[in-house]
Chains A and B, each alone.
Chain A
Amino acid sequence: MNIIVCVKRVPDTETRIRVGGDGQSIDPSGVKYVVSPYDEFAVEAALRLREANGAGEVTVVTLGDDASQDALRNALAMGADKALLLQGEVTQDGLATARALAAEIGEQDAPLVLLGVKAADDDQQQVGPMLATLLDRPCVTGVSNFELKDGVAVCRREVEGGHQEVEVDLPAVLTITKGEFEPRYASLKGIMAAKRKPLDKKEAAVAESRLRVTTMELPPEREGGRIVGEGPDAVPELVRLLREEANVL
C-alpha cells in the first residue's frame, strides 16, 4: 500500500526570528531550516508501516520553492522512497495549500495520507482536515498511534483529559502528533542513498492567498526580571504583589 506524507520546511525552533525589510515576512538570512517536527513523526509512522507490510512506497510531498528540496531530501534520507516538489508559493492561507496538495494527491493511488498535526511556523492546524474535506475522505487529527486492520485505520487520538479510539475506513487522512513515532535519525548510508532517489518537480496551481499579510512584528519585549526575593520567605511578598499589583489572585 502506498502512503503519502506531506512535509513542510520551516525555520528551526532554535531560530531567533527577525522581521525582513518588507515588514511582512521574516528575514531568512542566517535562518536554519528543518523539516517541521510533527512532519518527522508522520514520516516515521509511514516508514514503520511500510517496514511492517513489506510492500508499497512512501512518497513525501511538499509545496514550496526550490529550497524546500532539502526537506524532501531529509525525508528521503530517513527512508522515504520518492519525493515530489510542488512548486508554488506558500502563504498563511492553508486552504490554498490544501487545494494544491489535493489536486495532486487526488490523482495518486495512496489510500493513506499523513500530515503533521501542525506546522511549526504558521501553526494553523488546518491543512490536514482541509485536505481531507476537499478529497472527501475522513480525517482523524492529533493521532499519536494507529494501526491498519482490514482497510480500517484504528487510531489513538489525543484529546482533552484523555484519548479516544477512532476508526475510519481507508482511504483516509491522519494528522500525527507526538506519541509512538519518535523519528529515526538519517544514517550516513541513508543520506548517500537519498541523493539517488527520485525527486520530481511539478508546477502547482496555487490560488492567490486570501489571508493577506499586512504587517509582521515582533512581540513587545516583556519588562520582566523582577526578583521578589530568595527562598520561601519571599512568598508572602510575591502573593501580595500578585493580588495587589498584578490583580491576578
Chain B
Amino acid sequence: MSDVLAVVEQKDGALRGTAREVVTAAAALAAELGGQVHALVLGGPGTADGVDGLGAFGAEVVKVAEHAALAEYHPDGYAAVVSRLAREGGYGAVLFAATGEGKDLSPRVAAHLDVPLAADVTGLTVDDGTVVATRPIYAGKAFTQVAVEASPALVSIRPNVFQPAERAAAGTVETVEVTEDSSTWPTRVVSFTQTGGDIPDVAEASVVVSGGRGMKDPENWALLEELRAALGDAAGLGASRAVVDAGWRPHGEQVGQTGKTVAPRLYFAIGISGAIQHLAGMRTAGTIVAVNRDADAPIFKVADYGIVGDLFEVLPRLTEEVRSLRDGA
C-alpha cells in the first residue's frame, strides 16, 4: 500500500493544464498500488485559493506550499521543498509533468532522493507492484518499456498524452509550511524577457500549427498565426529546423529530433517536407494534417489527412472555415 504524489504546476495562481493530467495518471497508479493521491502545488501567497477542482480527478489531498520565494519557479527552492515532502510522505511514486519546469525540477528531486527518473513517459502501468513506464527514445523512433526498480518511482509524463479522467475524491486542501531558507538558494533569476505572445508552448499545446520553408518568408507567419488563433487558446505554434536555422522563428518552436518532441491531439504541418528528424518529433500526434504542393512529400506518408496545393491559397481558406465552424458552434 502506498500513496502517490502528483506534483502539479500553477502559473499566476491558476493551475496549469497539465495538472489534471498528472493527477489522472497518479490516480490510475494509486488504484494499482492501493493508496491515495496527494497533489502538491508550490506557489506564492494565495496559491491555495486557485487549486480547487483536483478532487474531481482523484486527489484525496491537495497540499499547497505557499511562500513569496516560491511564487515563480525556482530550481533550488522547488527541488528542496518537493524533495522534503516526497521523503516525508513515504510515497510509492512521485509524478511530474514533463514541461519545461518539470524537466528542470524532476532530475534534481531524483538526485536528492537517490532514485532514478523515468522522463517524458507516454504510458504507465503497474506490474506486480513495480511501476512500468513506456518511454519514447530516439525522439519517438522507438519505444521502450522500463521497470522502475526504486521507491519512490519518479516519473515525468509527456503533456497531452494522459487524458484527464474524472474520479471523485475528497480534494481536501492543506497548506504545508515552508521551512526552507531562500537565502541559501544559489541560483539568481535576474530577469524574464517575454518574446512570444501568451500562447502555450509547442510541447504543451493540445493543437499545434507548424510551418516550414514552404512559408517562404517570416512575414507570412501572420497567416499561420491566424489559423492558430482560430483554433483556440490551447493552440500553439511550431516550426521546422529549416526555418529556425534561417532565423525566421525561435528555437523554442522547433519540432523534431533536435527540437521538441510533441504529442498534440491535432498537428498541422504547413509547407514542411517531412524529413526523418522532423517526423521523429511529431509522429505520435493524435491526428496529423499536411498541406504541401508536392504530392510526393514524405509528410503525406504520416499525415492522416492531406491537401496537395499552394499553401498560400489553402491556408486562408482553412482559417476561414475553422473560424466559421467555431463561431457556429
Q: Are A165 and B149 in contact (CB under 8 A)?
A: no
Among the listed B114, B143, B305, which residue makes an inter-chain contact with A228, where contact means beta carbons less than 8 Å apart?
B305
Determine whether A53 belongs to the interface, using a CB cutoff of 8 Å to chain B: no
A172 to chain B, nearest CB (A): 8
**Residues from 16 to 63 in A contacting B, C-beta threshold 8 Å:** 16-17, 19, 24, 26, 37-38
- Docked Cα-Cα span, A124 to B83, in Å, equals 19
Q: Bound complex: CA of A98 vs CA of B110, how far in Å?
A: 11
Determine if B322 and A249 form an interchain contact, defined as CB atoms under 8 angstroms apart.
yes
A120-B305 contact in complex given A95-B115, A130-B107, A242-B266, C-beta closer than 8 Å: no
B257 within 8 Å of A (CB atoms): yes
Say if the beta carbon of A218 comes within 8 Å of chain B: yes
Beyond A123-B139, A139-B75, A214-B132, whether A222 also contacts B306 by CB under 8 A is no
- A231-B309 contact, Cβ under 8 Å, with A95-B111, A211-B118, A222-B304: yes
Chain A residues near B308: list those with CB within 8 A.
227, 229-231
Q: CB within 8 A of B186: which of A138, A230, A231? A: A138
- Interface-facing stretch out of A69-77, A183-191, A193-201, A232-240: A232-240
Minimum Cβ distance to chain B for residue A245 (Å): 9
Would you list which residues of chain A between 96 and 153 have a CB under 8 Å from chain B?
96, 98, 120-130, 132-134, 138-142, 144
Is the beta-carbon distance between B138 and A159 smaller than 8 angstroms? no
| Cross-interface CB contact of B116 among A14, A94, A224, A241, cutoff 8 Å | A94
User: Considering only CB atoms and an 8 Å cut-off, how many residues of chain B contact the other chain?
Assistant: 93
Give the chain A neighbours of B250 by CB distance below 8 A.
158
Asked if A1 is at the interface (CB within 8 A of a chain B CB), the reply is no
B277 / chain A contacts, CB cutoff of 8 Å: 13-14
Please name all residues of chain A whose beta carbon is closer than 8 Å to the beta carbon of B188 when the two chains form the complex. 166-168
B146 touches A211 (CB 8 A): yes
| Smallest CB separation, B231 vs chain A (Å) | 8
- Cβ–Cβ < 8 Å partners of A162 in chain B: 192-196
Once the chains bind, are A232 and B107 in contact (CB under 8 Å)? no
B257 touches A212 (CB 8 A): no
User: Across the interface, do A166 and B187 meet the contact criterion of CB distance under 8 Å?
Assistant: yes
Nearest CB on B from A46, distance (A): 19
Give Cα A168 to B310, complex, Å: 50
A68 to B241 alpha-carbon distance, docked (Å): 27
Closest residue on chain B to residue A134 by CB atoms: B111
Q: Are B138 and A211 in contact (CB under 8 A)?
A: no
Pair A217/B192 contact, Cβ less than 8 Å: no
Instruction: For the complex formed, measure the closest distance between the CB of B82 and the CB atoms of chain A, giving whole angstroms.
Output: 12
Contact among B76, B251, B280, B322 for A178, CB-based, below 8 A: B251
Q: 1/0 per position for B140-154, CB-CB distance to A under 8 A? A: 111111111110000
Query: Closest CB-CB distance, B17 to chain A, in whole Å?
Result: 12
Q: Which of A126, A138, A228, A235 is the one whose CB lies under 8 Å from B306? A: A228
Check: B216 CB closer than 8 A to any chain A CB.
Answer: no
**Does A67 count as interface, using CB distance less than 8 angstroms?**
no
B190 close to A (CB within 8 Å): yes
- Cβ of B120 < 8 Å from any Cβ of A? yes
* Interface residue? B1 (CB, 8 A): no
Is the pair A95, B309 in contact by a Cβ cutoff of 8 Å?
Answer: no
Contacts known (A95-B117, A138-B76); A159 close to B287, Cβ less than 8 A: no
Interface string of B109-133 (1 = CB under 8 A from A): 0111011111110000000000010
Q: From residue A103, how far is it (CB to closest CB) to chain B in Å?
A: 14
**CA–CA, A223 to B287, complex, Å?**
11
Bound complex: CA A227 to CA B301 (Å): 10
Answer yes or no: A93 CB below 8 A from chain B CBs: yes
Contacts of B201 in A (CB 8 A): 160-161
A37-B258, A165-B191, A211-B116 known; A122 vs B137 contact (CB < 8 Å): yes
Count chain A CB atoms within 10 A of each CB in B111, B144, B186 and give the residue with the most. Answer: B111
Judged by a CB distance under 8 angstroms, whether A202 is at the interface is no
Contact status B143-A217, CB under 8 Å: yes
Whether B100 and A215, one on each chain, are in contact in the complex, defined by CB atoms closer than 8 angstroms, is: no
Q: Are B251 and A158 in contact (CB under 8 A)?
A: yes
Q: A217 to nearest B CB, angstroms?
A: 5
- Complex alpha-carbon distance, A169 and B76, angstroms: 14
Interface residues of B (CB under 8 A from A): 75-76, 79, 99-100, 103-104, 106-108, 110-112, 114-120, 132, 135-150, 186-199, 201, 204, 207, 244, 250-252, 254, 257-258, 261, 265-266, 276-277, 280, 283-284, 286-289, 295, 300-310, 313-314, 316-318, 321-322, 325
A-B contact pairs, 29 of them (CB 8 A): A13-B257, A16-B141, A17-B138, A17-B141, A24-B144, A125-B107, A133-B111, A141-B75, A158-B250, A159-B192, A162-B194, A165-B191, A166-B190, A211-B146, A219-B141, A219-B283, A222-B302, A224-B301, A224-B303, A226-B303, A227-B295, A227-B300, A242-B289, A242-B305, A248-B207, A248-B265, A248-B266, A249-B322, A249-B325
- What are the 7 closest A-B residue pairs judged by CB atoms, nearest first? A133-B111, A126-B107, A231-B309, A138-B186, A232-B317, A165-B190, A129-B107
